Structure 1
Amino acid sequence: MKADPISELRVDVWLWAARFFKTRSLAKQAIDGGKIDVNDAGCKPAKMLHAGDRLRISRGEERLEVEVLLLSDRRGPASAAQGLYCETEVSRMAREAAREQRQLIGMSGPIKRPDKHARRQLRRMKDSR
């Protein structure tokens, strides 16, 4: 017996099911914090989402613009979650450019403390002044 397709769904539930956030609580916090826009307007967690809506999602330094293709209130595997939305080409290109820019300026990883060898070099430089 097949279930009827969902015609509308809460934004926070869809974000959780599409694996943008690990929990519904985190999705709700992002919405309340203004990190999610639906159709170029702010929203509340209980706003009803329909197929064809556009979402702007901000997670840390990552900015995504996606179009809702399907609605699901169940969290499945990542491969199924990717079928719920389609990222716009402009968003994909902007995200790639931002990633390349971060790599160029050396922000690709966390700043690490100098190791033993680097600390010795720093001491030698300071002592030689």
Structure 2
Amino acid sequence: MTAEGRQRIDKWLFFSRAVKSRSLGAKLVQAGRVRLNGEKISQPAESVRPGDVLTLTLDRRILVYKVLAPGSRRGPAEEARTLYEDMSPEPTPPGQAPMDAQVPLRDLGSGRPTKRERRQIDRLRGND
């Protein structure tokens, strides 16, 4: 931890338990999956300080954290939760599409027929 309350982002991600190791935090940053105050960063040595907003893309989740304090160690989960405020959007329940998702439509006659359409074709041809 530095004098001004700044800390390397890879260390902060490790201390906040967002990633399992510091090297995974560095790889996450280098892959461009971390935004600091809305801007992509690519260097794990980038500093974060209290008040910064981090947006992380992990697997199929998007995490939005507001940095409250720099960490001094990787402690228990209760201690890690004091380092940030979780501002992540609520995940959609399994089996339910997001509100802005649309059902894909295809033009009639394009692509493979559906099972229902296949049965109708078979009936038309007399191949029951």
TM-score by length of 2: 0.69
Q: Structure 1 residues 61 and 5 mapped into 2: Cα distance closer, same or farther (>3 Å)?
A: same
Higher helix share: 1
Tell me how many residue pairs correspond in the alignment. Answer: 97
Gaps of 5+ in 1: 106-129
SS of residue matched to 1:21: coil
* Structure 2 contact 13–19 (Cα < 8 Å) conserved: yes
* Structure 2 contact 5–69 (Cα < 8 Å) conserved: no
* Off by >4 Å, runs of 4+ in structure 1: 3-6
Using the alignment, how far apart are the partners of 2:72 and 2:14 within structure 1? 8
Flag the structure with larger Rg.
2
Gaps of 5+ in 2: 98-128
Structure 2 residue aligned with 1:16, among 14, 19, 34? Answer: 14
Cα RMSD (Å) = 2.2
Using the alignment, how far apart are the partners of 1:37 and 1:9 within structure 2? 16
TM-score by length of 1: 0.68
* Structure 2 contact 16–81 (Cα < 8 Å) conserved: yes
Matches within 5 A, 1:1-129: 7-43=5-41, 44-88=43-87, 91-93=88-90, 96-97=91-92, 100=93, 102-104=94-96
